[in-house]
Amino acid sequence: MYLKDWHFVAEFPDYGAYRLPFFFADDWLNAYYDQQRHRREQQHGFRPHAAFTSDYRFLYLGPAGTWTPLHSDVLRSYSWSANVCGRKRWLILHPRYTHLLYDRQMLRMAPHLEPGRTAWETFRVRFLLRAQEEGDAVFVPSGWHHCVENLHDTLSLNHNWLNGHNCHWTWALLRQQYVDAAEAIEDCRQLCSPDEFEGLVQSNLAANMGLNWHGFVDLLGCTVRSALASLCAARGGLSDARGDPLSGVGSFSQEVATEGGDHCAAVMNQLLALQRAGRKESPSWACASWLC
């Protein structure tokens, strides 16, 4: 038996079992879901059970011989895994070889990596094979497929996270999954209005991926509001090039707080307009507008 994906931090938020290393701390994804949970607590007056949370901080516990099958991480996020005790073996594959993991129709993926097979040698595929010891942390970049086996009885902590260095991977994935979700219900297009069809596509995208376009824009907004709050907290020590204290930070913070939802909706509508117009390039301005 393998205990996987236990939302340990969400279930025991006051326990404080560990602190994030500096290089793993810039975490937009879990900060967003923490904010969502806080909103629900305020609305309902109680803390939802951890089973209903959507954060991406997990505890894994399993005996020797248990394993996680071949996969790449959710939303093309980064991930890290730290062994509290035990030993694991990691097989990691660069994204340039991803197409070799699927069948000819690119529909079904192999369940496991087997480095010794002749086919891998034919394509000159190079694997990363690493043993993870007690106290080691392994970082997996966005889009790298991997499978993991417990060589000893093992307890590990695992996070998935996004930030400014890899959120473009998530946006590219959501755009592709949007196309797939629309194609899956194409026969319904003539039965409803464009807005109704769009709502169905976005609902299916959220069900399939845990996040749709509106949620992604909201995540970026959450990140900007958090950074702005930190800026406002430090405004007394800030000055411009002339040495004068920066002005307008507080008013801008209030504007973002009160109009953030409207701006999120506006960006969402602009993204949909681009998609309907058939524009292929990624509208990076839509994400960057949150950073203006």
Can you tell me the distance from the alpha carbon of 225 to that of 219, in angstroms, rounded to the nearest whole number?
Answer: 10
pLDDT of residue 52: 61
Out of 161, 179, 200, a domain closes at 161
pLDDT of residue 239: 45
> Helix or strand or coil: residue 73?
coil
* Domain encompassing residue 175: 167-291
* Phi-psi map region of 76: left, alpha, beta (phi>0 left; psi -120 to 50 alpha): left
| Order of strands, sheet of 78-85, starting from the edge strand that comes earlier in the sequence | 3-6, 57-62, 154-161, 78-85, 137-140
CATH number of the domain encompassing residue 13 = 2.60.120.650
Let me know whether 115 and 254 are in one domain. no
Let me know whether 12 and 48 are in one domain. yes
Is the separation of the CB atoms in 234 and 98 below 8 Å? no
**Mean pLDDT score, 99-124:** 76
Let me know whether 218 and 183 are in one domain. yes
Per residue in 42-98, pLDDT (tens digit) is 887 776 665 566 799 999 999 999 999 999 999 999 999 999 999 999 999 999 988
* Alpha helices, H only, 12-111: 28-44
Is the separation of the CB atoms in 172 and 95 below 8 Å? no
pLDDT at residue 268 is higher than 80: no
